[in-house]
Amino acid sequence: MSHPLSFLQQRHSVPSRQLGGPGPSGDELQTLLQTAIRVPDHGKLVPFRLILLQGEAKLAFGARLAELSLRVNPNMPESKREKDRTRYDFAPVVVAAIAHIDESSTVPVIEQKLSVGCVAYNLLLGAQALGYGAQWLTGWAAYNREAAGILGLADNEHVVGFVHIGTPQIDVPDRDRPELADVLRTWTP
């Protein structure tokens, strides 16, 4: 019998360019998304939205971002242009985790953002539980207001991450992790 935490001990990201089909769809995708939004939410604000990018729409979104990137950075090297052009070509499912911040709430903005971060992390864990690979990416588009406009985001919304989900096309070795002793201390009065 494996240790109850072994699932979490095996969690790692699969680079988005190493994700292909199939990806979750239909009821499986709906269950993944419904499960992902079961997060801590101080004040029951629901400070998150999800935008699903699939198929031709996902490719069109990637193309529009690539055009925007080139317009903003016309002297960008060809290698970076190619990376921007193909960023959304690989994983069959991309979920944009969106922060929907209520500035008038007594719940601090950081707590609202952390709730959205939990949604993105749940997408990673849920994808792994279903046998898929996933990677949470931000990149310049997560911080650009014109890119937010492409997604139709309101002024109080921004991208926390693009979670790419699909079937790993290669075995990805785990990366080095910090030693617990390097990041833990016990407080004493």
- Across the chain, mean pLDDT equals 96
Domains of the chain by start residue, with CATH: 12-183 (3.40.109.10)
pLDDT at 81: 83
Q: What is the pLDDT of residue 2?
A: 83
Global pTM reads 0.95
DSSP string, 130-184: TT-EEEEE--GGGG-HHHHHHTT--TTEEEEEEEEEEEESS--PPPP---HHHH-
Residues in the chain predicted with pLDDT less than 70, given as ranges, are 1
What confidence tens digit (pLDDT) does each residue in 46-81 have? 999 999 999 999 999 999 999 999 999 999 898 888
Q: Kindly list the distances between the CA atom of residue 33 and the CA atoms of 30, 77, 78, 106, 109, in Å, as whole numbers in the listed order.
A: 5, 37, 36, 28, 23
pLDDT at residue number 1: 66
**Which helix (DSSP H) or strand (DSSP E) does residue 100 occupy?**
strand 93-100
Q: Which two tokens stand for residue 138?
A: 């931000």
